[in-house]
Amino acid sequence: GRENSLDWLNSSPEVTMLLFLYRYTYEVSPVFLLVEEAVIKKMIEFIGWEEGDGIFNPGGSVSNMYAMNLARYKFCPEIKEKGLSGLPRLVLFTSEECHYSMKKAASFLGIGTENVYFIKTDERGKMIPEELEKQGSAPFLVCATAGTTVLGAFDPLDKIADICEKHGLWLHVDASWGGSALISRKHCRLLHGIHRFQNGLLKKCYSAKAAYLFQQDKFYDVSYDTGDKSIQCSRRPDAFKFWLMWKALGTTGLEERVNRALALARYLVEEIKKREGFQLLLEPEYANVCFWYIPPSLRKMEDGPEFWQKLHQVAPIIKERMMKKGSMMLGYQPHQGKVNFFRQVVISPHVSREDMDFLLDEIELLAKDL
């Protein structure tokens, strides 16, 4: 019987849809809506706001698109009804180390990738505020990054916020990666100033006031019908997964996970420094550890174009060998003129020091004949 089995879920797509799609209104999905509201409220506290608004999205790329569209709506609200025709050219400023989704969002929203201006970064991958101040055009959006994809860099949010405040510019912070540090009392300093970025306007910007969903004379508080501030109709209950983990681990447990990940990243850095043939790209400030492995045949070679050309070929060969062997899956890439290097990002709570040791041992083993 159904009382003792969940097998009936597999044969009932209608029920599956109700359970696994987070709907638009409180009456259809009260638990998931309240869960999202509770998580957003708690996250707002960690940012440092007394009040705010938010919504769970499928990922960081979509979140950046939401933010870009909100900034444009703030800059010219008439775009919602009149569209792009007749509007002036719009430009936005972001770090040259920003996530590629900024260009995708500009393309998708009709802003155009040529109107994304990339601000220079320093040797650590942080946006240089003075370079931002130099720009002549007035953008509708400035996007800072808290935890860049490659180097794990945190833009100086306070200084960028000063410039945006001075010129009346909308500031967005892409904290898709680095935002986790907010929950750690030890590492939240990385995002100092994040409370100064803009929020709000979700409902005004995205509301379509669909009469068949958002009746204003319902018997309950219609502010719980938060779906009208989403660009989607049905949504997956992504907040539920986070809420469940948060309830299970507690705030202290989540904080310990962040601290542990960064401690393991630091352990890996120190081990790299001890081993012959390993060379850090730079001292990391987050969980991104970027390094080269210089095989025995190149260690006595003079530094120059030929050396870097040969080193560029090393990481792809090691990656191929580890994949075919099935021992590891470690990413590599070139970046900002630097030849291919490995990028280890520590995320999993199950990773240990032994795993970090294995990582380095395995690279040495796979490259011993190179």
What's this model's pTM, rounded to 2 decimal places? 0.88
- Structural tokens at position 157: 């949010």
CA nearest to 328, candidates 356, 352, 347: 356
Length of the chain: 370
Q: What is the DSSP string of 331-350?
A: EEEEETTEEEEEEEE---TT
pLDDT of 327 higher than 60: yes
Rounded-to-integer distance, Cα 228 and Cα 209, Å: 7
Rounded-to-integer distance, Cα 127 and Cα 123, Å: 10
Rounded-to-integer distance, Cα 25 and Cα 206, Å: 15
154 DSSP assignment: B
Per-residue pLDDT tens over the stretch 216-262: 888 888 878 777 888 887 788 889 999 999 999 999 999 999 999 99
Rounded-to-integer distance, Cα 102 and Cα 79, Å: 20
Q: Would you call 230 helix, strand, or coil by DSSP? A: coil
Across 130-139, 196-205, 321-330, 351-360, least confident range: 196-205
pLDDT of 75 higher than 80: yes
> How much is the mean pLDDT over the chain?
90
Structure confidence at residue 21 (pLDDT): 57
Vertex 16: Cα angle to 14 and 20 (nearest 5): 125
Do the Cβ atoms of 105 and 68 come closer than 8 Å?
A: yes
Alpha helices in the chain (DSSP H): 13-20, 30-47, 60-75, 79-82, 101-108, 129-134, 157-167, 202-206, 238-274, 305-312, 314-325, 353-366
Instruction: Give the percent of the chain with pLDDT over 90.
Output: 70
